[in-house]
Amino acid sequence: MYEIFEHTADIGLRVTAPDLPTLFAEAGRGLFSLIVENLEDVQAVDRLRIALEEPELAFLLFDWLKELLYRFDTEHLLLARFDVRISDGSLEAEVSGERVDPRRHRLDHEVKAITYHGLKVEQTGGGWLAEIIADI
């Protein structure tokens, strides 16, 4: 599950999940829910694989979201489905979505960057919690 919260000129994303792969998948969905209002209408047309390595979980999450945002910025891909695997400081994922179609997709916020400010990933009694601030 993810929720959005206001943060000065930026916007925050708080994500909770029972495990790390779900946390990272929900963070990806949360990011794209900021970019496109109707994320549920994004179809799984284009698929790609992403592999990242970073032993620190918070920085791995940062790198993950930065990579997803890069794919949007350079390839105009709206991503909506995330199959994530995390093990020993590495992330492997298969993601899917489609290129922006202005006739079907209602773009919302222009996310300029993921920031380190307030970045956290921590284990809780019920699973995992992450907080991310995006520059809009």
Q: DSSP per residue over 53-68, as a string?
A: E-SSHHHHHHHHHHHH
Reported pTM: 0.92
Q: Which residue has the tokens 């995330």?
A: 82
In the prediction, which pLDDT does 34 show?
Answer: 95
Residue 79: closest CA among 53, 102, 105, 59: 105
In the prediction, which pLDDT does 133 show?
Answer: 93
In the prediction, which pLDDT does 72 show?
Answer: 98
User: Domain residues for 45?
Assistant: 2-135
**Average pLDDT, 10 consecutive residues per value, the chain (136 residues):** 70 95 98 96 97 97 98 97 96 98 94 93 96 92
Please tell me the total count of domains within the chain. 1
In the prediction, which pLDDT does 9 show?
Answer: 64
In the prediction, which pLDDT does 2 show?
Answer: 72
Cα 68 to Cα 49: distance, rounded to the nearest angstrom: 11
In the prediction, which pLDDT does 1 show?
Answer: 78
The length of the chain, given as a count of residues: 136
In the prediction, which pLDDT does 3 show?
Answer: 76
Count how many Cα atoms sit within 13 Å of the Cα of residue 93 in the half-sphere of its side chain: 29
Burial 47-62 (b: 16+ CB within 10 A, else e): eeebebeeeebbebbb
Domain with 105 in it: what CATH number?
3.55.10.10
In the prediction, which pLDDT does 7 show?
Answer: 58
Cα 123 to Cα 108: distance, rounded to the nearest angstrom: 31
